[in-house]
Chains A and B, each alone.
Chain A
Amino acid sequence: MAVSRSDKLPVASDGDIVAVRQRVRSLAVELGFSLVNQTKIVTAASELARNTVVHGGGGTVEIEVLVDGARRGIRLTFRDHGPGIPDLAAALRDGFTTGGGLGLGLGGARRLCNDFDLQSTPGDGTVVRIVRWR
């Protein structure tokens, strides 16, 4: 598996969340994702970008194109240096929220992707990495 392209965007505001959605959408279209898979990766990106802004105090997303034989995928890595997540299992549970939302962001994003990896160090920040294959 190789990374054929890589790009980095800031994720610090409402407007950045929209920009991330649009960038991920255009990449998914370009890579030939089905409409349902485009919608899933864009929705997951929107959830995670919002988490980065609301809970992480802003951060970045790295957007990569993965190549594995004939397979093409998109990998998104959201990084923030916010307070981190003390209880990862609880944070992934539907309905768990500290931000006044519905608590569907992390668990929901995980269901919309093929791979999901969450790492967090309290006091140091959070890294969420997802992959969706075409």
Chain B
Amino acid sequence: MADVDRIPIIKMGEFLLVSIQVDMHDRLAMTLQDDLTASIVRHQARGVLIDISSLEIVDSFIGRMLGNIAAMSRVLDAETVVVGMRPAVAITLVELGMSLPGVRTALTVERAMDMLRAAVGPAVHMGRVDGSQPE
């Protein structure tokens, strides 16, 4: 497996996309957490989509990282959706004692994008949905 020292973060409109494709060592997970938080602020992102469909396990460390990212992004006015958890990973995670409270999940990227768009709503600078201007 390729030895990477950073997980790439892709900006798409007002969202950030992350796809974890490697078996992350703990330091790499911490780096991702820091990089994502910084990127949310730098790009004024409103949503974060984290694809974990390649992950063969989620242990308590990775689970904690996902929870931290969700909590930190919420404090920074962004929503996080975790996408594509494998069924065996979900079973194991719950038996381990983690149910990822506070982390929104979706089975597919399409649904995750829908969730993010719904959570974020129309952009503020476009005015209200009915066309009126805020007082």
Contact = CB atoms under 8 A, between A and B. Distances in A.
Interface string A13-46: 0110110011001000000000110111011001
B92 to A, nearest CB: 5
B26 interface: yes
Contacts of B1: 22
B88 A38 contact: yes
B54 to A, nearest CB: 14
Interface in B20-47: 23-27
B60 interface: yes
Contact of A112 (B27, B56, B95): B95
A121 B71 CA distance: 38
A111 B96 contact: yes
B72 interface: no
A17 B26 contact: yes
B88 A112 contact: no
Main secondary structure on B side of the interface with A: helix
Nearest to B26: A14
A102 B98 contact: yes
23 contacts: A14-B26, A14-B27, A15-B25, A17-B25, A18-B23, A22-B1, A25-B56, A36-B88, A39-B57, A39-B91, A43-B92, A43-B96, A46-B61, A47-B60, A50-B59, A50-B61, A101-B61, A101-B64, A102-B63, A102-B64, A102-B98, A104-B98, A111-B95
Given A102-B60, A111-B95, A111-B96, A39 B89 contact: yes
Interface of A: 14-15, 17-18, 21-22, 25, 35-36, 38-40, 42-43, 46-47, 50, 94, 101-102, 104-105, 107-108, 111-112
Contact of A50 (B26, B27, B92): B26
Contacts of A39: 56-57, 86, 88-89, 91-92
B60 A14 contact: no
B: contact size bracket: 20 to 34
A43 B98 contact: no
A18 B25 contact: yes
Nearest to A13: B25
B13 interface: no
- Counting chain A CB atoms within 10 Å of each CB, which of B27, B60, B91 scores highest? B60
Given A101-B64, A104-B60, A40 B92 contact: yes
A104 B95 CA distance: 10
